[in-house]
């Protein structure tokens, strides 16, 4: 992750805080003031700014932001343009034309996984899946603690883009195809070692789906942080070890995870007091405790 990507992440985090506190105009002003140098994320920032303007009641301003960005080459998958904050735009002919232009530009973009080997002989492979809006570099940053435990780390980047830089995992079969592609590119020294599926948020959901389905390859265990669960697959894997979910009591997804607890037979759900939708600060220690016990 380079400096500009870190700047982008920080800006979006600060905008999210303002948005959640209903300071929409301040969020829009912050985006306008600090987007210079982040041109690679122009499409993503335009969508965020349009949404905060729409939430603030400035539908004309939101429409103009999207049109200007589209003229400059940006695009968005239609499902993220049909957003509650942009609802006031959805009857406008210009908005329908914007969707058509975007649909013509949408393209998947498969890339090789990031593979990092530990010092010495690996004991297994942790395959880490990033959260929505992130990339493989985020997963490598967040899961790098497994390297000190002797595991190879393989970070898979979704090929499904919702805008030029925004990747996520909206479709289970598409996600499993991305994982299969990454597994086919493993170096020879790790290709026969036990696999552990791992992921954060949307990536955590995919990791759990993968572990339960046993496709595209069976895994020994699964680790998920704040998984954005949807309907779980109608499948039961062999005994998974480890099988751990970490989620904060301050995470909006806690209710969803708790609601699925009865279906997650054999999983340990660790509810972390006060933590929001994020990794715990002691995550490296938690990884060590779980992986050394498995």
* Residues 234, 133 within the same domain: yes
Residue 141 tokens, joined: 């940053």
**Cα 179 to Cα 65: distance, rounded to the nearest angstrom:** 36
* Residues 27, 155 within the same domain: no
Q: What is the DSSP letter of 270?
A: E
Return the pLDDT at 235: 66
Tell me the residue range of the domain where 241 lies: 114-293
* Residues 46, 119 within the same domain: no
Query: What CA dihedral angle connects 229, 235, 237 and 242, to 10 degrees?
Result: 10
What's the predicted TM-score (pTM) here?
0.93
Return the pLDDT at 237: 62
Considering the domain boundaries, does residue 82 fall inside one? yes
Q: Which positions ≥6 away from 60 have C-beta within 8 Å?
A: none
Return the pLDDT at 233: 84
CATH code for the domain in which residue 170 is found: 3.40.50.1820
- Point out the residues of the chain with pLDDT beneath 50: none
pLDDT in tens, 229-263: 998 887 666 789 999 999 999 999 999 999 999 88
């Amino acid at each position: 992750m380079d400096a500009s990507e870190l700047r982008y992440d920080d800006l979006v985090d600060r905008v999210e805080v303002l948005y959640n506190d209903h300071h929409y105009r301040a969020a829009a002003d912050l985006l306008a003031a600090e987007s210079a140098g982040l041109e690679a994320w122009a499409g993503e920032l335009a969508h965020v700014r349009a949404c905060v303007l729409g939430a603030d009641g400035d539908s004309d301003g939101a429409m103009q932001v999207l049109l200007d960005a589209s003229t400059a080459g940006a695009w968005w998958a239609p499902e993220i343009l049909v957003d509650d904050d942009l609802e006031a735009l959805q009857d406008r002919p210009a908005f329908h034309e914007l969707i058509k232009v975007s649909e013509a530009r949408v393209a998947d973009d498969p890339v090789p996984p990031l593979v990092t080997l530990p010092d010495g002989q690996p004991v297994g492979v942790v395959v880490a899946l990033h959260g929505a809006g992130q990339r493989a570099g985020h997963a490598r940053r967040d899961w790098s603690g497994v390297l000190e435990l002797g595991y190879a780390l393989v970070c898979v980047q979704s090929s499904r883009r919702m805008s030029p830089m925004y990747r996520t995992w909206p479709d289970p079969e598409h996600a499993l195809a991305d994982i299969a592609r990454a597994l086919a590119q493993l170096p020879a020294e790790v290709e026969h070692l036990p696999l552990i599926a791992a992921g954060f948020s949307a990536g955590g959901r995919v990791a759990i789906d993968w572990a339960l389905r046993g496709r595209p390859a069976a895994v020994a265990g699964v680790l998920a942080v704040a998984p954005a669960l949807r309907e779980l697959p109608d499948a039961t894997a062999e005994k998974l070890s480890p099988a751990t979910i970490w989620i904060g009591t301050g995470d909006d997804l806690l209710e969803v995870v708790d609601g699925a607890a009865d279906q997650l037979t054999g999983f340990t759900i660790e509810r972390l007091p006060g933590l929001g939708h994020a990794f715990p600060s002691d995550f490296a220690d938690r990884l060590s405790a779980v992986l050394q016990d498995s």
